Amino acid sequence: MAAAARSSGGMSDQLFVSIKLECPRLAEMGLVPHVFGSHPVAGAWDPSKALLMEQEEAALWGLSCIVPSHRETLDFKFLLKPKDNSSHCIVEEGPDRSLVCGSNEVEIRNALFKFNDETGVVECKIFVETEILSPFDLAASWKAHQEHLQPRVRGAHDVIMNADSESRAKNGFASGLELDLEKYVVPTPNMGSDVVYAANLTENPRSLLTTGISSNNDTTKGFLHNSIKGDASPNLYASENKGADGRHVPPQEEQRAIFVDRGVGSPEFARPTNETISMSNIKFDSEAKDMPAAEGAVAAAAVADQMYGPKEDRKLAIVLVGLPARGKTFTAAKLTRYLRWLGHETKHFNVGKYRRLKHGINQTSLSASNSVEQTADFFRGDNKEGVEARNEVAALAMEDMLSWMQEGGQVGIFDATNSTRNRRNMLMKMAEGKCKSPKLIIVPIMNINRKRRTYKAYSCTIIFLETICNDQNVLERNMRLKVQRSPDYAEQTDFEAGVRDFKERLAYYEKVYEPVEEGSYVKMIDMVSGTGGQLQINDISGYLPGRIVFFLIWTSTLQRSILTAQPIIGFPKIQWRALDEINAGICDGMTYDEIKKIKPEEYESRSKDKLRYRYPRGESYLDVIQRLEPVIIELERQRAPVVVISHQIPLHTIIEIQMGVAGVQEKRYKLMDAVNSTAGI
């Protein structure tokens, strides 16, 4: 019942790069080395977005990253910035340095920095170490991280590379403006210095700023306007068109950051041991241990492929769905980082943030009672005012997201519960309004020749990403975390009362919750419950880029194929509806003999043309072939072994299909009689 496909290529390999710079003089001169380069993640030659190298010893700085294999070359240079004035910089002399992806040969030469004063030239030693990593190395690294093992291969610490890492280091937060926003606008409960409420780091509601919609927190409004003018964060909205050396720098609305996620892509990677990598090994005991980095990658994989084709022409709206405390914001944040890392303009819009800015953190004004403990009331499905208010802020956020996409943004991530069909319909309609047709966004451009407006169309796809969690222990813990961290409960001094209120809110949501059954969707089910987790994918063609390591087992959605996959631990399993057995319609559950007896005319038609015969209310083999197309295309693209567990394969048989330049080789392994046969097809 199983077929394994293996391909000979190594295109999913990634290049691990570790750069070190040694120079005893820099520290005493108060200078900090940075790296900047051609790729947006290295600042796109914009010195203000250069990546900070971390000081590892008194005279040694380091930076590590993973470069995806599809990037052909990465040109870069070193530059020095004074510790206390990051706007001045000294770029190294000489030609650009080049890293050729797919090759681990790098030219090593010292870096020379020329000063116009008596300092003269400062020379720094450079060490560059590269290594091509297979998906398995990365997966093992991820696993090692999850288990909090000490690095087995490299000694360097994990990297979080962030264009604004200096201010991050100073503030402990990713962005000056957003830090200030949280500090001054919405009170946040004391979560410990290193914990940031993820929703706070999402997009700032521009519709609420520009339309003058008032907040019941006056400080908010005033502060926001000041911030935009530049008082709070001079860097965030400043745009520069030229780098220090005159190179063109693409305009950027916000700081670009790449996170080489801890674990996945961490320099602390570990070689695979004989152990298997299992989602079920994920520990889930404290937030400090963080949640699996995998989901972000998993979900990203499922959507990243939507980005294939000319990048500037493709738009993707990812709409999160799920009850509160299911990890939506967490997943959206990971997805945002991951897609940005892949090079896609991505923004995360959190409706909770909009709600808090518009209505404040205490919704009692819209609820029946004035007690703080009644705030859950705002979320009651039959609280007309509450529902309207929530829809209103959701519409504002969607409006902002669609406008940003029209202006050039590529992936918008819309983070709210979106727990009813009505709400999702509203969002789809809004998107269609902008798109004119579900797949198209129309933007006017001037056609000078004809002196009239024509329209340039580009496609926009909506994908629902639903997070489902049935594990009561996980939920209990998540709920307490939400109360501890959400600004909604910042003013609630009685923690247990906050938990009760949040549970009440959840119960209201549960009453009206309608899981997604419509459109294109990815369902992430129990990803953190310790059972391995499952993904359900519907109507997403060509998903799963080869470089993603977490998708290695594919099953249909039917019990028997899921059960067959169960003993295979080590990889999350993905259910594809496209792999389901033929739908036999009214004949479902009957044997051929029974069909012959009960439905002789059907039996007769089927015998005449098995390929085209379609069961009443069911499918024909031609239909099945058609729905299998995306699976086949995806298989072709995979560069790591994939196990497909599906139907109509001889019992107790594994078919290994090797795709190579010389054609396709098929091997059959009979599990019961150990006789193997080989055939070319």
Ligand X SMILES: O=P(O)(O)OC[C@H]1O[C@@](CO)(OP(=O)(O)O)[C@@H](O)[C@@H]1O
Interface residues with ligand X (CB under 6 A)? 199, 324, 329, 350-352, 355, 390, 394, 416-419, 423, 486
Closer Cβ to ligand ADP, 537 or 640, answer by number: 537
Candidate list 329, 410, 520, 638; residue touching ligand ADP; CB under 6 A: 329
- List C-alpha distances in Å: 128 to 37, 63, 98, 195, 349: 15, 10, 11, 33, 38
Measured from the CB of residue 415, what is the shortest distance to ligand X in angstroms?
A: 6
By CB under 6 A, is residue 196 in contact with ligand ADP? no
Measured from the CB of residue 355, what is the shortest distance to ligand X in angstroms?
A: 4
By CB under 6 A, is residue 478 in contact with ligand ADP? yes
Among ligand X, ligand ADP, none, the one that 478 touches (CB under a kind-dependent 5 to 8 A) is ligand ADP
Measured from the CB of residue 537, what is the shortest distance to ligand X in angstroms?
A: 23
Closer Cβ to ligand X, 355 or 639, answer by number: 355
355 contact partners, CB below 8 Å, separation of at least 6 = 389, 390, 393
CB neighbours (10 Å) of residue 328?
A: 26
CA-wise closest residue to 157 among 67, 260, 268, 52: 268
Measured from the CB of residue 333, what is the shortest distance to ligand X in angstroms?
A: 11
Q: Mutual orientation of helices 351-359 and 384-406 as an angle, nearest 10°?
A: 120
Candidate list 51, 99, 291, 483; residue touching ligand ADP; CB under 6 A: 291
Measured from the CB of residue 353, what is the shortest distance to ligand X in angstroms?
A: 8
By CB under 6 A, is residue 326 in contact with ligand ADP? yes
Q: How far apart are CA 612 and CA 605, in angstroms?
A: 10
> 619: helix, coil or strand?
coil
- List C-alpha distances in Å: 390 to 351, 381, 395, 506: 8, 11, 9, 15
Measured from the CB of residue 366, what is the shortest distance to ligand X in angstroms?
A: 12
Residue nearest to ligand ADP (CB): 327
By CB under 6 A, is residue 527 in contact with ligand ADP? yes
Candidate list 270, 282, 302, 528; residue touching ligand ADP; CB under 6 A: 528
Which part of the chain contacts ligand ADP (CB under 6 A), choosing from 476-484, 498-506, 587-595, 656-664?
476-484
Candidate list 74, 122, 179, 469; residue touching ligand ADP; CB under 6 A: 469
By CB under 6 A, is residue 325 in contact with ligand ADP? yes
Measured in residues, the chain has a length of: 681
Closer Cβ to ligand X, 205 or 324, answer by number: 324
Q: How far apart are CA 655 and CA 670, in angstroms?
A: 9
Measured from the CB of residue 391, what is the shortest distance to ligand X in angstroms?
A: 7
| Strand 97-100 versus strand 73-82 pairing type | antiparallel
Residue nearest to ligand X (CB): 352
Measured from the CB of residue 509, what is the shortest distance to ligand X in angstroms?
A: 7
Closer Cβ to ligand X, 265 or 322, answer by number: 322
Among ligand X, ligand ADP, none, the one that 316 touches (CB under a kind-dependent 5 to 8 A) is none
Residue 592 sits at φ, ψ, to 5 deg, of: -60, -35
261 contact partners, CB below 8 Å, separation of at least 6 = 293, 296, 297, 334, 337, 338
Measured from the CB of residue 646, what is the shortest distance to ligand ADP in angstroms?
A: 26
Q: How far apart are CA 19 and CA 179, in angstroms?
A: 30
Closer Cβ to ligand ADP, 89 or 196, answer by number: 196
CA-wise closest residue to 236 among 279, 262, 201: 201
Helical ranges in 48-175 per DSSP H: 135-146, 165-171
By CB under 6 A, is residue 481 in contact with ligand ADP? yes
436 contact partners, CB below 8 Å, separation of at least 6 = 442
Measured from the CB of residue 467, what is the shortest distance to ligand ADP in angstroms?
A: 5
State whether the Cα torsion 285-289-294-295 is positive or negative: positive
608 contact partners, CB below 8 Å, separation of at least 6 = none
Closer Cβ to ligand X, 296 or 352, answer by number: 352
By CB under 6 A, is residue 386 in contact with ligand ADP? no
Residues 270-289 that bind ligand ADP (CB under 6 A): 287
| Total interface residues for ligand ADP by CB under 6 A | 21
Candidate list 12, 175, 306, 467; residue touching ligand ADP; CB under 6 A: 467
Residue 157 sits at φ, ψ, to 5 deg, of: -80, 165
Q: How far apart are CA 663 and CA 642, in angstroms?
A: 18
Q: How far apart are CA 521 and CA 508, in angstroms?
A: 24
By CB under 6 A, is residue 532 in contact with ligand ADP? no
DSSP class of 14: E
Among ligand ADP, ligand X, none, the one that 461 touches (CB under a kind-dependent 5 to 8 A) is none
Q: Which residues bind ligand ADP (CB under 6 A)?
A: 287, 291, 295, 322, 324-331, 467, 469, 474, 478, 481-482, 524, 527-528
